[in-house]
Copies of this chain bind each other. A is one copy, B any other.
Amino acid sequence: MALFLSRSVHKVDKKGRVSVPSGFRAALGDELVQGLGLNMPIVGFACIEALPFSKIEERMNVLDSLPVDEAEAMSLAHQMLGTLAHVTFDGEGRIVLPDYLMEYSGIRDSATFVGLGRTFQIWEAEALAAHDVSTRTIARDNIKLLRKPTSAQAEGET
């Protein structure tokens, strides 16, 4: 599977439309026609998280198996599906950002795309700058997480 990598800044027009970097679209390949899922990251970062549609289907299958009579499970479902917007590409490779996500992320007339491998994020410039600073500190403090390949790999590696 292809990867979303590097950063780029794009204009958001009056309709809330924004071009997705061509590299990201290329990475989507056949999944381009299915569009993207956009939502608020569960960890609370002030940005828009973007996923290929196939990832959404995966999520839904997991959430489907959760009990409907538990507030915790339903809260999780609300955050992972209820805040999610399904958007499709126009002929020029643009998507429309929903109002509530623009408001949440602070994006107005410009958006920065940040590749994160299998997903990517969309940020307002100043919020991203602040996030860069704060994560640098946190990352430095937690770099040791990478230093235990034995247990970590056993779980996650495919």
Where the two chains meet, the residues of A that have a C-beta atom closer than 8 Å to any C-beta of B are: 3, 5-7, 37, 40-45, 56, 60-66, 68-86, 98, 100, 114-118, 121, 131-132, 134-136, 138-143, 145-146, 152, 155-156
Distance of A135 Cα from B73 Cα, bound (Å): 10
Question: In the assembly, how many copies of this chain are there?
Answer: 2
Would A7 and B71 count as touching, CB distance under 8 A? no
Distance of A76 Cα from B63 Cα, bound (Å): 23
Nearest B residue (CB) for A82: B114
If the complex has contacts A43-B70, A43-B71, A136-B42, are A60 and B117 also in contact, measured as CB distance less than 8 A?
A: yes
Would A142 and B75 count as touching, CB distance under 8 A? yes
Distance of A60 Cα from B150 Cα, bound (Å): 17
